[in-house]
């Protein structure tokens, strides 16, 4: 399902359930040595997706360890993103010569818990959430906003190495196109001497999931 919202140059792999006994490298085992079983299964399953994607790009399997702020550390020449929520795991990777950065996020297709929207949404965003909620009540627009902002951060961080607050990117959704735009409210990253001040992404809501993705094509 995630491949529907990513360009052809991105290797996307997803799983709707955890396989038993997925092997981990010793370095990965150390990361989850004290984790509960649920966390361990998520950790292993999403890395299995990532290693499958790496193989499609021609890379051998290897440990995928969390780096700064938990961002996965990819082999040189690879950009990518991973996500998981209940019943779903996915990874999206690409050659850095084809894609500058990629971000994906998966969320349950359900409204946000009370109090979360006020913490993540600006007034302009709450306006379109209310409008679209009245017009198309079958989609949890507040959850879509949250997912889009998570995806923006996952795209932003590899380019900058800096934190991006929820209030530092303004999201506008284009529901007819299954797309969203994110306007950065802080100076954007410089890539090849060019400032990137906005991201454009896509979304899909299906099978009880909200999926969002951004791929900055080189």
CB contact at 8 A, 129 and 154 = no
Q: What is the dotted CATH code of the domain comprising 105-217?
A: 3.90.470.20
> Among 78-87, 150-159, 170-179, 187-196, which stretch is predicted with the lowest mean pLDDT?
187-196
Q: So where are the chain's domains?
A: 2-96, 105-217
What pLDDT score does 193 carry?
Answer: 83
pTM for the predicted model, two decimal places: 0.95
Residues 172-184 pLDDT 10s: 999 999 999 999 9
With a cut of 80, say whether residue 20 has pLDDT above it: no
| Cβ atoms within 10 Å, residue 39 | 11
Instruction: Check if 2-96 and 105-217 are the same fold.
Output: yes
Cα distances from 126 to residues 133, 145, 155, 166, in angstroms, run 10, 9, 23, 13
What CATH class does 2-96 carry?
A: alpha beta
With a cut of 90, say whether residue 27 has pLDDT above it: yes
Quote the tokens at residue 39: 């966390």
CA dihedral (5, 6, 7, 12) positive or negative: negative
């Amino acid at each position: 399902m995630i491949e529907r919202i990513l360009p052809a140059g991105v290797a996307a792999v997803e799983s709707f359930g955890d396989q038993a006994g997925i092997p981990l490298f010793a370095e990965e085992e150390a990361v989850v040595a004290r984790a509960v079983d649920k966390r361990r299964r998520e950790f292993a399953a999403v890395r299995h997706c990532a290693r499958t994607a790496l193989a499609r790009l021609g890379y051998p399997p290897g440990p995928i360890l969390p780096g700064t702020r938990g961002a996965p550390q990819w082999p040189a020449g690879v950009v990518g993103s991973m996500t998981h929520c209940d019943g779903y795991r996915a990874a999206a990777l690409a050659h850095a010569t084809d894609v500058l950065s990629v971000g994906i996020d998966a969320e349950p297709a359900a409204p946000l818990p009370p109090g979360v929207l006020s913490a993540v949404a600006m007034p302009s965003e709450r306006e379109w959430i209310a409008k679209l909620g009245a017009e198309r009540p079958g989609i949890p627009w507040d959850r879509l906003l949250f997912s889009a902002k998570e995806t923006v951060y996952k795209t932003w961080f590899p380019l900058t190495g800096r934190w991006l607050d929820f209030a530092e990117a303004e999201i506008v959704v284009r529901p007819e196109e299954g797309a969203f735009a994110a306007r950065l409210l802080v100076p954007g990253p410089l890539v090849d001497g060019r400032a990137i001040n906005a991201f454009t992404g896509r979304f899909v809501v299906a099978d009880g999931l909200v999926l969002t993705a951004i791929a900055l094509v080189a």
